[in-house]
Chains A and B, each alone.
Chain A
Amino acid sequence: MTSYALRRLALAAPTLFLIVTLSFFLMHLAPGGPFDAEASLEPEVIANLEAAYDLDKPIIVQYGLYLGKVARGDFGPSIVYIDRTVTELLEIGLPVSLKLGLSAMILALTVGGILGVIAALRRNSSTDYAVMGVAMTGIAVPSFVMAPLMSLLFGVILKILPVASLEPRGGLAEAVPFLAPITPYIMPVIALALPQIAILARLTRGAMIETLRQNYIRTARAKGLTQGNVVWAHALKSASLPVISYLGPAAASIITGSVVIEQIFQLPGMGRFFIQGAINRDYPLVLGIVVVYALAVILLNLIVDLMYGLLDPKVKVE
């Protein structure tokens, strides 16, 4: 188990290196630079600016300097947000994105998992068809359609939840004061989680149906165990394997989804900084965010692999 974990960890470092290198050269090899738009600047000013950000040096030197800085945890100064370092911007954006992403992930796992199990247990019943119909809708209607519709309904028409603001406003915050701090996050989290709930419900249903056919489940039933005991204690562990292996791609989808959701709900998360940075050629900012996102995804994949090693006896033998 330990050597398995170490081998996985050893693979994470080159992956991160590959990502930094790929994004660095992608951004720098393209024609144009961050100061193109500012036509009014004197050539000397631009030269000074470029010198300040090391942009006047050969690309290989820039790359070396950047790697050295990143290794020390310094992502450099932002170009667009003057007087701010990328690290400062990350300190603003990361907690917002983290709250949003983690809550969406937990919501998707619990709701998707429960719906999937219910559908599997009532296979081919109207409950099953209803759950799968809702899941299909969740897959077919993208979050950037769902989100504006939700803010129209709950924010503008019903006035329950705040729209596009971190201020706790709306009916729910007034009616239930202790929920007020989370009200700005309710809609974004649900909108972000919906497609994942749909996918996870389908996955769980399939895996559960497959597991319930196994002989050991028949044995458990023959012993006279209750339905609840069979499902939650015996079947769930094995049925959760395909779901766990989907967590990596799910995290990637939630991260990319959060870019749009932060945009729609005006949340000051990393996704908004990323889009601003990419459009304005803010190299250090974009690279810094890519590194953080990649780290998050790699870390999660590592956890998934380890959980797999713990849960699946087949992996342990190898």
Chain B
Amino acid sequence: MALLAAQRESQEALMAEAANIKGRSLWEDAARRFRANKAAMAGVIVLVLITMCAIVAPSLSAYTIDDLDWMNIGTPPSLETGHWFGTDDTGKDLFVLTWMGARVSLIIGVMTTAVALSIGVIYGATAGYVGGRTDNAMMRFVDVLYALPLLFFIIILVTVFGRNIYLVFLAIGCVEWLTMARIVRGQTLSVKQKEFIEAARASGAGPTSIIGRHVLPNVIGPVIVYVTLLVPTNILVESYLSFLGLGVKEPLTSWGVLISRGANSIESAPWLLLIPATCLAITMFCFNFIGDGLRDALDPKDR
């Protein structure tokens, strides 16, 4: 009897202990792995700093983006003049220009990715879910587009329709959705074979609600990873356009515009190239580290 009671007691103790242990979801697991990745966490911190600078920094300077300081034309960075990053050949303050440019570059990176995300997810999910001949035709079309130097179409679009910032959003977004569509399609194809989709269909769910509520939440991992890698790509595409003189127009500025101007005066005023280029490169590093960290955290293959 005593033995049985003791056994029951230890069993109850175990049960109580088990009740205290919380199961870890896939996302909690991923978050833990991500936080353990030093490079990725450093990327997050630096990126937050850069974003905060882009929001706050222009108002910290004594100068505004329109001020022309005739006393300090093309002066190197210095604390005494208040031009912390120096001035350009018209006496504009590079500190203000760099962070105003950061605003435009970051916004363009995010907005173009949003456009690419929407097109890619809808297109890929439809192709993957419908399957068969439709899928074949839709992906063939993507293959054809994939093979083209699509930047040329952006250049044609921008030169022909004028340099409007919204057009830049749309043009870049409309070109960069292809890989997204491929990823979403592949994931959808594998998810739609699962039993829970069958269960959803059996309980009378239509295709839109199956795609929206059951398929998409399950393909989100690789999509998040690709998004973090697409934002820096698109920032680069914008800088490339700006470098060719086809990006955002005055009074707006972006890192690409600043780099392009800095490249012309590299011998006389190297800081005009080096400072915006460094900011751009640091941002690229951050996004790439975060993307790699997210892939390691979310991709079940390489655990």
Task: State the A residues within 8 Å of B (CB).
Answer: 11, 14-15, 18-19, 22-23, 26-27, 30, 136-137, 139-142, 144-145, 147-149, 151-152, 156, 248-249, 252, 255-256, 259-260, 263-264, 274-275, 278-279, 281, 286, 290, 293-294, 297-298, 301
- Nearest-CB distance from B279 to chain A (Å)? 11
Say whether, besides A152-B270, A293-B149, A278 and B236 are in contact (CB < 8 Å): no
Residues on A with beta carbons closer than 8 Å to the beta carbon of B155 = 259, 274-275, 278
Say whether, besides A15-B144, A144-B240, A144-B259, A26 and B285 are in contact (CB < 8 Å): no
Residues on A with beta carbons closer than 8 Å to the beta carbon of B266 = 148-149, 151-152
A293 to B232, CA, bound (A): 26
A297 to B152, CA, bound (A): 13
A279 to B244, CA, bound (A): 11
Name the residue of chain B whose CB is nearest to the CB of A152.
B266
Name the residue of chain B whose CB is nearest to the CB of A15.
B144
Q: Are A294 and B148 in contact (CB under 8 A)?
A: yes
Say whether, besides A136-B288, A152-B267, A294 and B156 are in contact (CB < 8 Å): no
B160 at the A/B interface (Cβ < 8 Å)? yes
Name the residue of chain B whose CB is nearest to the CB of A278.
B159
B277 at the A/B interface (Cβ < 8 Å)? yes
Name the residue of chain B whose CB is nearest to the CB of A257.
B240
Residues on B with beta carbons closer than 8 Å to the beta carbon of A281 = 159-160
The count of chain B contact residues (Cβ–Cβ below 8 Å) is 36
**Top-3 shortest CB links A-B:** A140-B284, A30-B160, A148-B263
* 27 A-B contacts (beta carbon < 8 Å): A18-B144, A23-B152, A26-B153, A27-B156, A27-B160, A30-B160, A30-B161, A137-B281, A139-B288, A140-B232, A141-B277, A142-B240, A142-B280, A144-B259, A145-B277, A148-B262, A149-B273, A152-B270, A248-B146, A249-B146, A259-B155, A260-B244, A278-B156, A279-B159, A290-B152, A294-B148, A297-B147
Task: State the B residues within 8 Å of A (CB).
Answer: 140, 144, 146-153, 155-157, 159-161, 232, 236, 239-240, 243-244, 259-260, 262-263, 266-267, 270, 273, 277, 280-281, 284-285, 288
Question: Which of A11, A142, A301 is B236 in contact with, Cβ under 8 Å?
Answer: A142
Q: Are B240 and A252 in contact (CB under 8 A)?
A: no
Say whether chain A's binding surface is mostly helix, strand, loop, or mixed. Answer: helix
Name the residue of chain A whose CB is nearest to the CB of B273.
A148
